[in-house]
Amino acid sequence: MPVLHFIFVTKHEQNRAASGRDYNYVQRMAAFYGSWIREKFGISYEVRCDELVANPRGVFDRINMHTLVRDHEHRGKETYHFYLTYFRPIWTDCTCEGYHAENFGMAYWQSPKDADISEEDADLFFAEKNCTVVSHQILHEMLRMKGNKRHIQDVHDLWTKHVFSQLEFVQYDGSHKVTEERPSFLVVDASALESG
Ligand SMILES: [Zn+2]
């Protein structure tokens, strides 16, 4: 079974409590994407989730896109590695703050500024700011794998509709079901793409 491995990249000095809250969401989001990909694209991944902490005295003293590409190669290119990072991509063709290559994904991870934010509000923040960008990158990779030659442009046209033309993101609840209620996860509408 192919492996989809999410890696939450944090700074050494990052606020522990806040990153615990974020990582808790990352783990739930990783499981969600396992079922979303199975449902939408018919691929069953074994989903893994880890943290990678930049350590000023360790191997990963400074993590950047180059070190992530090397990390991906070192861990094994046959695994789909998806990095959630505290820095923005320095090079990307994307219209959002993410990057993708074969079996490689990256998204800039945003945290709520308000330390007293409720768990529910934090989840909604993560869904809107981060989960949507992750879905953009995963859709690139799924379409690429399926041999869609226009996968860059198709995803970006779809993204433009979401961001500028009031096409709604698809809302999922904590049980990975589509919901009209407050969502736990928000993703690009891949069905809008298939229908042109
Ligand atoms: Zn893109």
First CA to last CA distance, the chain: 31
Contact assessment for residue 35 and residue 59, using Cβ atoms and an 8 Å cutoff: no
What does the pLDDT profile of the chain (196 residues) look like in tens digits?
Answer: 999 999 999 887 777 767 889 999 999 999 999 999 999 999 999 999 999 888 767 666 678 888 999 999 999 999 999 999 999 998 888 989 999 999 999 999 999 998 889 999 999 999 999 999 999 999 999 999 999 888 899 999 999 999 999 999 999 999 999 999 999 999 999 887 764 4
| The pairing of beta strand 46-54 with beta strand 98-101 | unpaired
Predicted pLDDT of residue 64 = 86
The token duo for 183 is 């969502």
Residues with CB in 5 Å of ion ligand 1: 94
According to DSSP, the residues that pair with 100 across neighbouring strands are 105
Specify the pLDDT at position 59.
62
Q: Calculate the CA 87 to chain-centre distance.
A: 14
CA of 141 to the centre of ligand 1 (A): 10
Q: How far is the CA of 59 from the centre of ligand 1 (A)?
A: 30
Q: How far is the CA of 152 from the centre of ligand 1 (A)?
A: 6
Asked if 80 and 5 touch (Cβ cutoff 8 Å), the reply is: yes
